[in-house]
Structure formats: C-alpha cells, structure tokens
Amino acid sequence: MIRVKVPATSANVGAGFDSLGLAVSLYNEFTFEEAERLEIVSLDETPIPTGPSNLVYRSAKAVYDQLSIPMPGLKITQKNAIPMARGLGSSSSCIVAGILGANALLGNKLTSRQMLTMATAIEGHPDNVAPAMLGGFVTSVFDEGQVYSVKKNIDSGLAFAAFIPDFKLLTEKARAALPKTVAHKDAVYNLSRAALATAAFCDGNYELLSIATKDVLHQPYRLPLIEGGEELFSTMHDLGALAVYISGAGPTIMAVVPKEDHTFFIQAQKALDTVPELKRFSLYALSADNIGATVE
C-alpha cells in the first residue's frame, strides 16, 4: 500500500498572484492500492465524491493516461484535515496525492518536473501545487506548458497564524471577482512587491514583508467577499504581524509572525473571542513545512 501525506499551502503571499506559495503544517493523508474496482473512502466525517469525479482519482488517472497504461481498479482512502474551499490548498493536496500515489504504484516513472507540470495543468496555476509537492516557500512560473519553480526553506523562526472562517469561498467565485485587465501602474506595484517578497524570504529580511505583501491585483476585490476580513487585517497589523494577506483565493487570512511572539497568538485569540466582526474566524497556529509531500 502506498501512503501519501500532503501539506496545506498558502498561495499568492500578497503580491505574488498565481506565482508565490508556501507550505504549512496541516496535512491531508491518503492511501492507494490496486483493487478489483474503484473504491474511495473518507476516513473522517468529510464528505467526498466516491466515484470517478473524485479529484484524487482523476489526478491518478492522468498519470496512467500519460504513460498509456490502462487504469486498474483502485482503493483510495482520504483523511482530510485541510478544510475545503478555504484558500489552504485542499484541492491541490488531492491533485498532488493522486499524481504521487499513481506514480509510486507504477514504479516512479515520472520526474518531479513532469509531475509538477501535470499537477499545474489540472489546477490551472502552480502556486499551491508547487509548495504542496516541494514544501517551503516556492516561486513558480508556468511557461508554454512547463513549470519552473525555485524552492527556499522557510526560517523555523517564523510562525503562520491562519484565520479560517466558518464559511467557504469557491476559487471560481473569487477569480470571477477580479477585473479582466489591470492598469500598468498596478502591474508594476505588484511585480515589484512580489520580487521583494521573494528576496525578503530568501534573505531573512522580514521587516520588509509588510510592504512586500501589499497587493492591488486581487485582495481589494476579494476582501469584500470575506465577512470580517477588513477588521481582521487591521487588528492583526495592530497586533504586530510581519505580514497579513488573503491565503490563496480566500477566505482564510494568513498572518506571518515571529515564532517567539506568544503575545500575538494570545491577543489574536482574545480579539476573535471579543470582537463581534471576527467571531466567524478560528485561529490555527501553524509552522512552515519545508519537506512537502511524502510518499511511503
């Protein structure tokens, strides 16, 4: 039996729309084995499709199809700790798991680059699937059907406070809220900050993150879709977060904080407990994951 564990991911990291992403310490777990027929089982309360539309199965099938190997029956189990449709890469974890699981069942015929490219083609952009596979902070570009990524380990002195609301926001809806075209000055605003964010993570220059994670391409359009989002941004900035940004397409909001700043977490929880606008958010204290998906 093949076991695959995939971390949650937080894409965009502010200005790096569809390019930057990082992996955090929350995991979905999967098992794969060949069987007489298709059987998909959720090992927790999470409802999942149990037929051929299941994303893990579809992603596994993409591997068999690419290698022109007939699809056998498969038994797949899923444990889903990453909440769905919250901007923490739950779909990417399913895609990555399906591809890695099938590749392992078939004797590891595909390279990492091939698998990353396949995962990106299924997801549509690389900023969740790349850190899900590689771990760490990953900068990616999808160019003419190929993914190019650079991974950098994240400093263990950083902590990630994920504010996960009790409501979903589908990526399709969050993408539909974006304008079709942007002004040249807005493009420059973001590309300079995305470059600065990458350099700041690589160099450990974390005081730059509050500037480097500012964005005008997606967050202003998405924040109104997140009840309590504006209040959460300003409260977490006031509490001294190094950066606050919408995780992926939202609705989770991520704050980056120094790990030793225990006061931040205490005060943040207090704010969630006492400020009415913030009552729909739960605080998850996470660390970086620098390992990425594992297969055994």
Binding site residues, ligand HSE, CB under 6 A: 11-12, 17-18, 125, 127-128, 171, 174-175, 218, 248-249
Single-letter residue type at 170: L
Classify 281 in phi/psi space as left (phi over 0), alpha (psi -120 to 50) or beta: beta
> Count of CB atoms within 10 A of residue 89's CB?
30
Q: Please, which residue, 74 or 190, has the CB nearer to ligand HSE?
A: 190
Give how far Cα 129 sits from Cα of 7, 115, 177, 207, 248, Å: 10, 10, 22, 28, 12
Question: Least CB distance from residue 125 to ligand HSE, whole Å?
Answer: 5
Question: Least CB distance from residue 89 to ligand HSE, whole Å?
Answer: 8
Q: Which two tokens stand for residue 232?
A: 């959460």
What SS3 class is residue 54?
coil
CB 37 within 8 A of CB 28: no
- Torsion over CA: 14, 20, 25, 29 (sign): positive
Q: Please, which residue, 103 or 128, has the CB nearer to ligand HSE?
A: 128
Q: Please, which residue, 5 or 218, has the CB nearer to ligand HSE?
A: 218
- Torsion over CA: 38, 44, 47, 53 (sign): negative
Question: Least CB distance from residue 174 to ligand HSE, whole Å?
Answer: 6
φ, ψ of residue 117 in degrees (nearest 5): -65, -40
Q: Please, which residue, 125 or 193, has the CB nearer to ligand HSE?
A: 125
Question: Least CB distance from residue 28 to ligand HSE, whole Å?
Answer: 16
Q: Which two tokens stand for residue 249?
A: 């397409």
Q: Dihedral, CA atoms, 199, 201, 207, 209, nearest 10 degrees? A: 80
Question: Least CB distance from residue 150 to ligand HSE, whole Å?
Answer: 17
Q: Please, which residue, 13 or 271, has the CB nearer to ligand HSE?
A: 13
Question: Least CB distance from residue 12 to ligand HSE, whole Å?
Answer: 5
Q: Please, which residue, 18 or 29, has the CB nearer to ligand HSE?
A: 18
Tokens 């994920």 correspond to what residue?
Answer: 162
